[in-house]
Structures are given as structure tokens and as C-alpha cells.
Structure 1
């Protein structure tokens, strides 16, 4: 087994930051001028410089990606999957910002800054660099930096002084580590600690990397809890299924099986909707939505249409009753969620977030709220709802006001 090496700090313990910064400036100036450099930059830095040069990033001004507005930032936060680990990340890295010298940042998988925390003084310094919420710190936007380079390399990285590609960042240091989604292995975003170059410390990178791994562990535990909840719902349904079947979450992780060889995960079709699909390793299957995932019935030819009954607008208690060939379950939505579901029932071809915002609030600009609410609904209703546009999925029949 190959050992995984620890992240490499930019500065070795005991090394003089000012002397090392002077060397880096000489290396940088030579590299930018196409001359022979007095030393070679670290591999992670030279690889990044090559990428950003190929991307055409200007070392004097960086890129020109616009900063997202407040509504766009809120939407990115809701979609990032990072909100669930924000509090422990902030708590575990408080010690690095308590002295007012550093800013703590969480960015999404595209390098967009979604959250910042720090003293007013250091945040003011970050503002002057354009290091604000909504700004892009991908390599293609601002060159070599801990956020963009961690995303591009897939590993924790510390960037110091003139290792930054854009000259205006040379008085800055940053350490960033990617946070991976344990369900897919893909990077959700980056946790980063940045500040003036004189604040560099070799242990900062290890601490940031440890906190990123703790965040991943928390996401893993939350995923296990959701699988346990799905397993509890699935048990009676599988008992009545009458044939081989599995209960899986929306990522294909298996919560329970009946009459099928045990497995940890299966590959779902890319765009799941209720109905008949060929599933790799299982063959012909019927996919039926259930709370938090799918019932996968192997080689069954029964009718797999799903019936959804919505309570009428004036009903004392709002309910969503979902029934199919393998049983039924009930969800009690909030009044707002019930409104959204009735709107989608009235528009079977689907509605955009803007159209729903107009219907609910009389304001097409309230799309962030709509997307967040529907995201919560889809987590509750499994595969019953589809997106782009928002609608009930194929194979779902909807009745409003039925008993």
C-alpha cells in the first residue's frame, strides 16, 4: 500500500520568512521574465504557474470574473453541500483568527468564496485584494492561491508570498484544503486560512487539512444516519415487494436488500425517473421513488406508476400520500411546500424558479428562496420531483384534493 504523504508547508520550521520571501521574489521575477531562476519553485507551485500561464491569467491584474451578488451567494450556499459542516469548521479554526491576523474562508467547488470570518481589520485587507464573499478564487481568476490550487491539485496546499501568481497577492499567505463528499468522492469546496505574509506558520497547513478531514468525517456520519433512516422506511416495503429488490439513496448507496447479493453501492442511471431502467450489474429494473431514495425492483414487470395525492388548499392538515405497487407512505409538508406542490400539479410541463417565485411572492427575484425550498422538498420526496424545469417526475400521477 502506498503511503499518503503529509501536506507540504511552504515554509520549513525555523526558516526565516523574510529571507525566504526574498528568494521567492527573485525566483518569481526570473520566471516571469523568462530568465534562469536562482532556485526552482516547489512542484505544486510550478505546476500551478504552468496552468495559469496557459489560461492566460495576467500576473499584474489577474482575471476578470465578476463577483456574485448577495442572492447568488445565498443560492450557492444552499447548493454547495457545505452548510452542514460550516459550524464545526469555523469552531475548530477559531484559534487561527482569534488574534485578528487571519481570515477564515470556505469556498465552493468552483472557488467562489461563500463564507468569511475574521476581524474587521483583516477583512478590510482582504477586501482590498478582492477576497470578498462571491469572488472567484479559482486559478483561472486570480492565479496561484491556496483555494484555486487546492481545487486544481486535489490536495491541501500552502502558498506564501511570491508563490502567488498575481503580484498584488505577494504580501499574503494562505493555506487551503479540499473537503470531499464521502458519497461521491468529488470535492465540495475548500476551507482556507489567509492573512498577511508575516503571519505564515508551517503548522497552519496541517491544522487546516485536519479540519477538512474532520468535516468529511462528519459528512460521512450524516450520510450513515440518512441510510439508517432509509433502511427503517424500506424494511416493510421490501418485506412486501415479492421479489428481489434494493433500497438505495439518491447516490446509489445501498440501505437494504432483499433477495439480492449484498453490496455497498450501485450505479444509478444518470437522470433517474420512475420507471423501467437497465441497471449495471442487476439488469432490467423498476425504479420507484421512496423517502430519501429509490426502491429498485429487479426484473419485475409490474406497473410502476406512482400516485401522489395532495390535500386540497383548505384542508385542515396538509398531506402528501405517495403510493405504488410496493406500498404507500405519507409526508406532511409545510404550508409553503404544499403550495409549491399544488403549483407543480397545475403545471405538469414544469415551472422555472422565477415562475414559482412570481406565483408565490409576486416577485420573480425570489428565486433563491424557491430553489432552497424545493431542494428541501426533493430531499423529503425522493424521486417524486424532477428539475430543469421543476415538475413531477415521469411516471408520477398527481391528484389534488383526493381522500
Structure 2
């Protein structure tokens, strides 16, 4: 939590009185001129020092590029915060809307990915570039709750004249970090911002509480994922024999056979299916599983048992609303449920046996060949679980993989809610034959 209030900080009863604001501004002006003045709160004093060293111009209006909409969507999908946004909206968005403030959520690089709240404040926030796609780190925006919380790694309130940049001094904001409970890594910032008149002393405690609830939800989701991975891996481990383990995408253990359990297996940053050397295990064969990896130590009889890629893929689109893919490999068969978008993409790849470019796949899925960023992001997500059957440059199923598509009895039931051109053409073709 934040440190105790100094004499220049806003009092607990409400917004800072005029004389306190003036004292803050005098202290800030003294710092800008190189003179040492009575320090404000410790975290603000430290932030001013950092911002001065980084060369931020306090007179400059907020500006800078915004991320493109597709890049924002990609970053939303890449962060664990996306899964807990319903909780954050329930815990903070209604409060923000009712108090003429807005909820802002950034990633660990200070890039705003979501915001919600009072519409008039949302419009006003655009004047200071507090909008989706903008970066709010200290070197870019000066002292502010999002950027300062990123550095301090603690909940932070920045009110009125505590902001370093003049254009922000009519605002008040409170932010708290959200950490990944699996490894303690910072994954983003949750913030409440609004006009300085909306200051309330309890806002910081509320934001911190909701951030902790989000961490708890991420932990619960992780445990559920581990349990699902264990249910898939356990029968496979029983069949293959030898030393093997199943780990999630962060290397955390889900199941083990033939060796003592480990809490975590350090994974290479660019782990791919095939033979991989692990310092603690030696040469291993790695295969993807839904939500993780199967790691088989290549010693003795187990070496031959795990050789070879998956041999067969069945894309089952026969049940409306429940697309799945079945992958049969040397050690058994496993099933992965598919999102509607991933089902569309795999269907398009099944039709294009020779492969296709990102632009061609974008036309098949969106009818727009320029949406390559979204295509590449979705392919990257699919390859986390299907890397051994999917290839790229061009995008295609790997050679030697037998691909079968199970269609529904009625052509109209082929991914019935899809508007992807490749699916629409297939329905029309089947219906006219």
C-alpha cells in the first residue's frame, strides 16, 4: 500500500485544499529549477526524480502514437488480464461510472488495453491521450498512477499537482499492479482516473482489492487448467512407459511417470516439438498437449516409442457449436476444443493442402487480405497446441499428416454462425450439389 500522507498530500476528507496544491506546485517548480524543496510524499518525490532524469518536458501536451486496433486486440489476447476483465468490470467499472471516473487497464509495458466508465470523462480523457493504445509509462507521461505503479510495483495514488506534466494536473488517479500468481511476474496495472474533483480517499484501497481478486481468479483458472492437462496426460503417461512428465506452458508440473516430481521444468523461450535438450533431464522428445507439453526422456526403450510426428488429424465440425480437433500420434490420441475462429482457420487450411500466405488466409476468414496481423496472432495461438501438425511459410498442415474433416449432415450446419467467406462458399457449394 502507499506510504502515509505527508503535509502536502490530499487530506483523507476529500480533495487537496488550495494551499496544499500551491505547496505541491511550488515544490515541483523548485525541482524543475534545480533547487531542493520540501518533498511531497516519498513515492511522488522518487517519481519526480526519475522523470527529471528521463527528460520529460512538463509543458508538452500529451501526444504520441497509438497502437492499431488489431495490435490492441493481439495484446489483449496475449495477456492473462483478458480472462479476468469481467471481474474487473464488475468490481470497478460500475464504481467508475457512478463517480464520474473511468477504469483503465494496461499491460506490463504501460500500454492501455481497456477502459470503461463515465462517457463524458472518456471523451475528456482523449484530450490527454488516456485512451486505448496509448502508452502511460513515466518516461512518456511523467508522474502518473499507471506509470509510477509500474516502477514502484505497489499501489499508487497521484493527485492533481503531483502529476509532473502540467496537462495532467486537473486529474486524480489511483492504480494497483496485478501479478501473475504462478510466478509473481507483473502482468499489468488496474487504474481509476477522473477529474481532480472526483478524488476519494478510499479509491486506492478499492483498486488494490480488486487487483488482488483478479490475481486470485488467475490462480483458480491456472489450477483448473492444470487439472484438465492432467486428465489428458495421465492415460498417455501410463501407455508410453519410461520417464516422462506433462507440464503447462510455463513448465509447471501436471503429471509425471517413472521419475520424482518437480515443481517446475524450465522451458526454452522458443520451445517447439521435437528433440530438446534439458539440463536436468538430458535429451527429450517434446510433444504438444492441450494447455501444455508432454516431455519424454529419451533413454532406453522409450526413445523409439516417441519417434515420429502425429500421423492423423480429424477436424470434427459435425456438431454445431462444438468444433473439436482430434490428433493421433505415436503415444496416443488427444482432443482439443476449438474456438469458432480457430475452427474456421483449420477448415481453410484443410482445403488449401498446398498452403497459403497470411494475406490469403485473411481473405478466407475475413474477406480482407490486409488483416494479416490478426491472422498471424491467431495462428501463433493455435501453434501452442498444434505445432507438430501445423507448418508456416506457407501456412499449412505438415507433410505426412493425414487430415480428415467431419462435416455435419446438413450443409447449413457447417459452423452455422460463421461469416468467413471460406465457410459461406462451402455451405453454398454443398447445398447446391
TM-score (norm 1): 0.86
**1:384 matches 2:388:** yes
1:342 aligned partner: 350
Q: How does 1:91-240 map to 2 (within 5 A)?
A: 91-94=90-93, 96-240=95-239
2:32 aligned partner: 32
1:59 aligned partner: 58
* In 1, Cα distance between equivalents of 2:33 and 2:378: 53
Secondary structure at the aligned position of 2:202 is classed as helix
Whether the aligned pair in 1 keeps the contact of 2:93 and 2:116 (CA below 8 Å) is no
Whether the aligned pair in 2 keeps the contact of 1:267 and 1:280 (CA below 8 Å) is no
RMSD: 3.1
Whether the aligned pair in 2 keeps the contact of 1:344 and 1:391 (CA below 8 Å) is no
* In 1, Cα distance between equivalents of 2:29 and 2:237: 67
Q: Please state how far the C-alpha of 1:158 moved relative to its aligned partner.
A: 0.9
Whether the aligned pair in 1 keeps the contact of 2:51 and 2:143 (CA below 8 Å) is yes
**1:398 matches 2:398:** no
* In 1, Cα distance between equivalents of 2:394 and 2:151: 33
* In 2, Cα distance between equivalents of 1:13 and 1:287: 57
* In 1, Cα distance between equivalents of 2:168 and 2:324: 55
Whether the aligned pair in 1 keeps the contact of 2:313 and 2:328 (CA below 8 Å) is no
Whether the aligned pair in 2 keeps the contact of 1:17 and 1:198 (CA below 8 Å) is no
Q: Once structures 1 and 2 are overlaid, which stretch shifts more, 180-189 or 201-210? A: 180-189
Q: Please state how far the C-alpha of 1:311 moved relative to its aligned partner.
A: 4.9
Whether the aligned pair in 1 keeps the contact of 2:63 and 2:129 (CA below 8 Å) is no
Instruction: List alignment gaps of at least 5 residues for structure 2.
Output: 407-433
With over 3 angstroms needed to count, the CA separation of the structure-2 counterparts of 1:232 and 1:187, relative to structure 1, is same
Secondary structure at the aligned position of 1:82 is classed as helix
With over 3 angstroms needed to count, the CA separation of the structure-2 counterparts of 1:351 and 1:139, relative to structure 1, is farther
TM-score (norm 2): 0.80
* In 1, Cα distance between equivalents of 2:286 and 2:392: 20
2:21 aligned partner: 21
1:309-346, CA deviations, whole angstroms, 9 ceiling, x for partnerless residues? 34589x96886442333222244655403225437863
Whether the aligned pair in 2 keeps the contact of 1:344 and 1:351 (CA below 8 Å) is no
Q: Please state how far the C-alpha of 1:186 moved relative to its aligned partner.
A: 2.3
* In 1, Cα distance between equivalents of 2:283 and 2:186: 32
1:3 aligned partner: none
* In 2, Cα distance between equivalents of 1:322 and 1:16: 61
With over 3 angstroms needed to count, the CA separation of the structure-2 counterparts of 1:388 and 1:63, relative to structure 1, is farther
1:148-175, CA deviations, whole angstroms, 9 ceiling, x for partnerless residues? 1111222211111122111111111111
Instruction: List alignment gaps of at least 5 residues for structure 1.
Output: 1-5
With over 3 angstroms needed to count, the CA separation of the structure-2 counterparts of 1:243 and 1:119, relative to structure 1, is same
Q: Please state how far the C-alpha of 1:27 moved relative to its aligned partner.
A: 0.8
* In 1, Cα distance between equivalents of 2:328 and 2:220: 30
Q: Please state how far the C-alpha of 1:88 moved relative to its aligned partner.
A: 0.9
**1:365 matches 2:373:** no
1:285-328, CA deviations, whole angstroms, 9 ceiling, x for partnerless residues? 22122222111112332243222434589x96886442333222
Secondary structure at the aligned position of 1:285 is classed as strand
* In 1, Cα distance between equivalents of 2:377 and 2:285: 30
